[in-house]
Structure 1
Amino acid sequence: MEMKTRINLELRNRAPEELTQLVLDNCRCVNGEIEGLNDTFKKLEFLSMINVELSSLARLPNLNKLRKQNLKNLKSLDLFNCEITTLEDYRESIFELLQQITYLDGFDQEDNEAPDSGAEDDEDGEEEDEEEDEAGPPEGYEEEEEEKRGGGR
């Protein structure tokens, strides 16, 4: 269901000015943008847009009553392909606003890359496997030697 249609259903014959909560989870947005939500939602305190595949907040209206959601467990945030990343000093602003996060776009405040323990283990394992292959006999070598000796299977 498209976001605009979902908003109309959620209104349930109420005026946008009366609405304090709006749940738009799992609806489709057009071109990755918010559609159907505007400044008339003056009393909106709670807005949920989980899994709507937004790529831009450019059309997000000014919702003065919207309360900050508690993100106390948020440690890492990726904002790749979001317009906010084009703003000057956006990283500093995000780290200031969300002081609980450790990593933004895969890097901490000092630009140290976030550890990826899974990738490191895989790389080490691949290197060891390659070394073992180089040190051992080539594939099928033992079978060829056995056939040369006349003891084929």
Structure 2
Amino acid sequence: MDMKKRINLELRNRAPEEVTQLVLDNCHCVNGEIEGLNDTFKKLEFLSMANVELSSLARLPNLNKLRKLELSDNIISGGLEVLAEKCPNLTHLNLSGNKIKDLTAVEALMEMKMMKRKLVHLKDMRKRKRKKMMRMKMKMKPAQNWEREKKK
């Protein structure tokens, strides 16, 4: 089933303006692009497009209320800067199983609110780990000295 038909099926006689969740998993998108999804989905908070052979997010509409986006198991390798522009309130993003080879493809997301929060959290965790490692080294040093003296 193609993406347009799946969207019509998922609407279940509702107007696109009323929909808050949309699951399009395992449908087929033509030429690796989003089709049938447009700016009329103003209240959309959750969108799942897992395993739809998506390679580009260029045709993603403005989804200002979108908080969770599931894009796992597609063939996306870049072009993620669109997310920062079109989905400013995104808090959860799953890109697992895509063809992203290095972190440069994800750099555009660092300006988003959700990524800034996560980045600050990661920095705090690293500081705590460093302090813990230093404490462990300090404890190990006397034991290492004792072993050296024992060998002499």
| TM-score w.r.t. length of structure 1 | 0.51
Tell me the equivalent position of 2:19: 19
Number of corresponding residues: 90
Tell me the equivalent position of 1:142: none
State whether residues 21 and 44 of structure 2, in contact with CA within 8 Å, keep that contact through their aligned partners in structure 1: yes
Deviations 1:20-42 (A, max 9, x none): 00000000001000000000000
Q: Which runs of 5+ in 2 are unaligned?
A: 82-103, 123-152
Structure 1's 55 and 16: CA in aligned 2 closer, same or farther, altered over 3 A? same
1:110-149 to structure 2, matched below 5 A, reads none
Deviations 1:90-146 (A, max 9, x none): 554345636389xxxxxxxxxxxxxxxxxxxxxxxxxxxxxxxxxxxxxxxxxxxxx
Task: Give, in angstroms, the shift of residue 50 of structure 1.
Answer: 0.6
Tell me the equivalent position of 1:42: 42
Q: Indicate the SS of the match to 1:52.
A: coil
Residue identity over aligned pairs, in percent, reads 72
| TM-score w.r.t. length of structure 2 | 0.51
1:49-64 to structure 2, matched below 5 A, reads 49-64=49-64
CA RMSD of aligned residues (A): 2.9
1:52-131 to structure 2, matched below 5 A, reads 52-68=52-68, 80=77, 82-84=78-80, 91-95=106-110, 97=115, 99=119
Deviations 1:57-111 (A, max 9, x none): 01000001101459xxxxxxx953x3348xxx7554345636389xxxxxxxxxx
Deviation above 3 Å: which 4+ runs of structure 1?
A: 89-96, 98-101
In 2: Cα distance, 1:23 partner to 1:63 partner: 15
Higher helix share: 2
Highest CA radius of gyration, 1 or 2?
A: 1
Q: Which runs of 5+ in 1 are unaligned?
A: 71-77, 102-153
Structure 1's 79 and 4: CA in aligned 2 closer, same or farther, altered over 3 A? closer
Name the amino acid aligned to 1:59.
R
